[in-house]
Amino acid sequence: MIKSKTHLSAVMITFLIAIFALSLSSCVSLGGKKGGDSSKSVNMDDVKGQDRAIRILVTRATASFLKGSAKVMSAVGKKEEALKYEQAAVDLEKNPEDPQKIKDTLAIANEANKSLEEIKAENAKVSEEGKKDLKAGIVYVGAGGMLDISAGTKTAAFVTTLKDAIQVVQGNPTKYGMGALDTLKSSLDLMTFLASELPKQGSAISNTFTGLTKYATTNGVSVTKGDAEKEAAKMEKG
């Protein structure tokens, strides 16, 4: 039964990746001619749609992690840090597609992860009042890391699509209009950054999450990977 469920999960993951790859392929399509000659075209609406979807996913991942960090900080009495990370999440959600805001907030998230590592090292006791925040916070932290990894995979694939699209538009700039090339290059700049940073951040948060679940156990609080997976799935659906 366990083997069957594992196989089913693998099939579902493969199916979802295939669906995403298919959606990316619609951004840059092939228009063929007989005799082996072919040309490519770019659907700018599709490209913009994929770009926006990834930015929204990254925003959800980062906001989840920061809100989780804030709850953990609150649970151990570090109110100043809690307010800082909560506000950073709120500010990002107000500007979910601002590339500089995304980059700046990822830096704050890295700082927050280091603070969580310190919490683990201190191994402070949590009050009964703080246990609810501790559990919810760790779940959000784990979900944020999982979404980071998901977004990183999608972003890496989209970078390839953008590079292809830029080549096509450079070959026929009149067809796509003056702003098309700038739009694609701006998107590529952010997506290249995200493709590099998200896997590293997701991995770091995953390690922190594992440590926090052990820390929670010492305080009589149970948090599982499944709890975080459910929250991540809910967030990814929007």
Report the length, in residues, of the chain. Answer: 238
Evaluate if residue 16 carries a pLDDT over 90: no
Evaluate if residue 58 carries a pLDDT over 90: yes
In a domain, 20, yes or no: no
pLDDT at 27: 66
pLDDT at 37: 29
- Per the model's pLDDT, the better-predicted residue between 226 and 23 turns out to be 226
Please give the tally of structural domains in the chain.
1
Evaluate if residue 6 carries a pLDDT over 60: no
pLDDT at 31: 35
- Per the model's pLDDT, the better-predicted residue between 236 and 16 turns out to be 236
Tokens at 235, concatenated = 């967030």
pLDDT at 178: 84
List, in sequence order, every residue forming a beta bridge with 40; answer none if it has no partner. 30
Task: Give per-residue pLDDT as tens, 199-217.
Answer: 999 999 999 999 999 999 9
In a domain, 97, yes or no: yes
pLDDT tier at 124 (50, 70, 90 boundaries)? confident
In a domain, 5, yes or no: no
Span 169-174, mean pLDDT?
A: 92
In a domain, 139, yes or no: yes
CB contact at 8 A, 82 and 73? yes
CB contact at 8 A, 131 and 226? no
pLDDT tier at 29 (50, 70, 90 boundaries)? low
pLDDT tier at 72 (50, 70, 90 boundaries)? very high
In a domain, 14, yes or no: no
CB contact at 8 A, 166 and 173? no
In a domain, 105, yes or no: yes
In a domain, 156, yes or no: yes
Query: Lowest-pLDDT range, 19-28, 52-61, 74-83?
Result: 19-28
**Which residue range(s) make up the domain with 107?**
44-237
- pTM, two decimals, is 0.83
pLDDT tier at 179 (50, 70, 90 boundaries)? very high
The span from the CA of 6 to the CA of 183, in Å, is 41
In a domain, 13, yes or no: no
User: What one-character DSSP code corresponds to residue 32?
Assistant: E
The span from the CA of 156 to the CA of 47, in Å, is 14
CB contact at 8 A, 152 and 194? yes
